[in-house]
Amino acid sequence: MQNKISYSSVMNIVDHETFGSNERRTVRNSGIFLLDSSKKTNQLFFMGKCGGEVRIELTINFQQNTNGTLSIKESAKLYEGASTNSRDLDGKASKNTLVGINENKTISFRVRNTDEGGDYADITLQVSNVVIDETDCKNSIKAKAQTLGSGFTGSATSNINSPTSVRGGKRVTFQKCDIYCSPQTGPHEIHGAIRQKYNSVGGPNNDLVIPATDETTTPDGRGKFNHFTGNGSIYWHPTTGPKLVRGGIRHTWAKTGWERGTFGYPTSDEIRIDPSKAEWFSDFQNGVIYWAKNKSIKPHTASLSGAKVRKMFEKIFKEKAKDQKDLNVESVRISTVSDTGYDFTRSKNRKVTFKISGNYESGIFFIPNPSYTITLRIAFESDKNPDGKVACTLKARLDHWHIHTSGVGHDKLLKGLKKAVLEGFNKPFELGDVPKNTGFLSFKVMKNGGIKLYFKGDVLGSFAALVAQKKLDKM
């Protein structure tokens, strides 16, 4: 059962101590929304100000009842002082109302200044409660589209009076979104990058089937998701892009706390390693979930800590700058590690920014040596997206650079450093090759600037991780 609620709220506010055109003000708000099994309540909040002294705050709570009726509670507060910082409460009033099935009702009450003065507000709420059978997908989709508004949906691109039958339910397509419906789910919209991802994997013909929720903001406030009836979800984040996660991997991820857990957001769709086996994995910002033999199995890994990556880069930098014989390198440190990067298919790795500082031996003993600070942002990449089978070459390349010099003779130093950086880092430097069919799943930069390689959680993956670790230790 669905309740389509149409409302129009009017607050006629009077500031009794103000004379002239600013003594009275009318504040109007209206809209449409749905209540159903997935959302049985809704709360609205409106504010109105009048003169320099009166502020009204109105809260309206709507509750869907099991018999289709609608319970409404209105609470109004009158504050002395129009500023929202003022908490000088001078009056309050409330009203409880029951609206029947397919009934229109007008509800009125007044909130007064009970402390001093004759300030007040007359509040009127007009409500329409239309009950829709959730099995009637045509009217449910129509009501949903009306609730969202044409600015959100755009024009319908399929027949809204005759929804298209799809696997799992019905669908009407719009310019900016699609609305799906089934008797079990009710109507739900899908839009933006999540809609694009959903359609790219086959829409309702994929194992996801149809949406079970609208696009919803994640609890951390940064991402978006739609859950689907086929035990799957598509998650979007501004630094990952839309990614599909489902089945046992989704269940394992959920047990760790979803996107707020140790894994973070998904950075790949679910990837099947061997079509002849139930062997899958999904890449995440901070790890990999590998699924085989109907259970989650911990991947094998090889890694370098952030400290060892810093040391490795210091060695590389000194090698690239060896022609600058009088260059003193005083410190090399990791200054920042970026977030993952947006991509529709496989999110980009984090980037590591190194800061190198030191001075140059000028040869003039009574003048301080000119000093420098070099900022180099390095992108760590695999030439191919690891999938457990393909051979990959792991590389690091210069993504951004900046050089600052100071002191007597620093112009010459700047020129030499630019030459060393541009020539020394003009090509990516290879970190190593991973042969094919070694169960290589992911090459990842961690939050601390360390790097980690993930392999299948089987005997072959264990051996490959051991070989990779030995190679990393020699870098």
Residues 139, 186 contacting (CB under 8 angstroms): no
Parallel, antiparallel or unpaired: strands 164-166 and 169-173: antiparallel
41: which residues sit within 8 A by CB, 6+ positions away? 35, 61, 62, 63, 64
Residues 80, 53 contacting (CB under 8 angstroms): yes
The number of CA neighbours under 13 Å toward the Cβ of 81 is 8
In terms of domains, do 108 and 161 share one?
no
End-of-domain residue from the set 211, 236, 261: 236
Q: 365 pLDDT band (50/70/90 cuts)?
A: low
In terms of domains, do 142 and 128 share one?
no
From the list 325, 355, 352, the residue with the least C-alpha distance to 341 is 352
From the list 59, 84, 60, the residue with the least C-alpha distance to 72 is 60
**pLDDT exceeds cutoff 80 at 20:** no
Flag whether 14 is in a domain: yes
Burial label, 427 (beta-carbon count in 10 A; 0-12, 13-18, 19+): exposed
CA angle, 325 as apex, 321 and 328 as ends, to 5°?
Answer: 75
Q: Tell me what the pLDDT averaged over the chain comes to.
A: 93
Mutual orientation of helices 410-424 and 306-320 as an angle, nearest 10°? Answer: 110
In terms of domains, do 114 and 174 share one?
no
In terms of domains, do 41 and 166 share one?
no
Flag whether 270 is in a domain: no
* Chain center to CA of 237: 3
Higher pLDDT, 325 or 136: 136
- How far apart are the C-alpha atoms of 360 and 418, rounded to whole Å? 14
Strands (E) located in 194-270: 216-217, 224-228, 232-236, 243-246
Q: Is 117 left (phi over 0), alpha (psi -120 to 50) or beta?
A: left
In terms of domains, do 155 and 125 share one?
no
* Residue range 137-156, pLDDT digits in tens: 999 999 999 999 999 999 99
* Residue range 378-427, pLDDT digits in tens: 999 999 999 999 999 999 999 999 999 998 878 888 888 888 888 889 99
Flag whether 268 is in a domain: no
17: which residues sit within 8 A by CB, 6+ positions away? 51, 53, 117, 119
In terms of domains, do 182 and 231 share one?
yes
Flag whether 88 is in a domain: yes
Share of the chain above pLDDT 90, in %: 78
Q: What mean pLDDT comes out for the span 278-302? A: 96
* Residue range 242-261, pLDDT digits in tens: 999 999 999 999 999 999 99
- Buried/exposed 67-86: b ≥16 CB within 10 Å, e otherwise: ebbbebebbbbbbbebeeee
* Chain center to CA of 260: 11
In terms of domains, do 213 and 230 share one?
yes
**pLDDT exceeds cutoff 80 at 325:** no
In terms of domains, do 181 and 74 share one?
no
| pLDDT of the residue at 108 | 97
**pLDDT exceeds cutoff 60 at 206:** yes
Q: What mean pLDDT comes out for the span 26-38? A: 91
Q: 226 pLDDT band (50/70/90 cuts)?
A: very high
Residues 286, 301 contacting (CB under 8 angstroms): no
In terms of domains, do 146 and 71 share one?
no
Flag whether 262 is in a domain: no
Q: Is 249 helix (H, G, I), strand (E, B) or coil?
A: helix
In terms of domains, do 21 and 125 share one?
yes
Bridge partners (DSSP) listed for residue 403: 374
Q: Taking the alpha carbons of 245, 247, 253, 255 in that order, is the dihedral positive or negative?
A: positive
Higher pLDDT, 430 or 134: 430
Length of the chain: 475
| pLDDT of the residue at 229 | 96
Flag whether 465 is in a domain: yes
**pLDDT exceeds cutoff 90 at 176:** yes
10-24, 315-329, 339-353: which is most confident: 339-353
Q: Write out the residue range of the structural domain in which residue 159 sits.
A: 134-236
In terms of domains, do 163 and 71 share one?
no
Q: What mean pLDDT comes out for the span 336-354? A: 97
Q: What mean pLDDT comes out for the span 62-82? A: 93
End-of-domain residue from the set 180, 214, 236: 236
| Tokens 């047990």 -> residue | 255
Q: 364 pLDDT band (50/70/90 cuts)?
A: low
In terms of domains, do 33 and 78 share one?
yes
Total number of domains constituting the chain: 3
**pLDDT exceeds cutoff 90 at 475:** no
End-of-domain residue from the set 103, 132, 161: 132
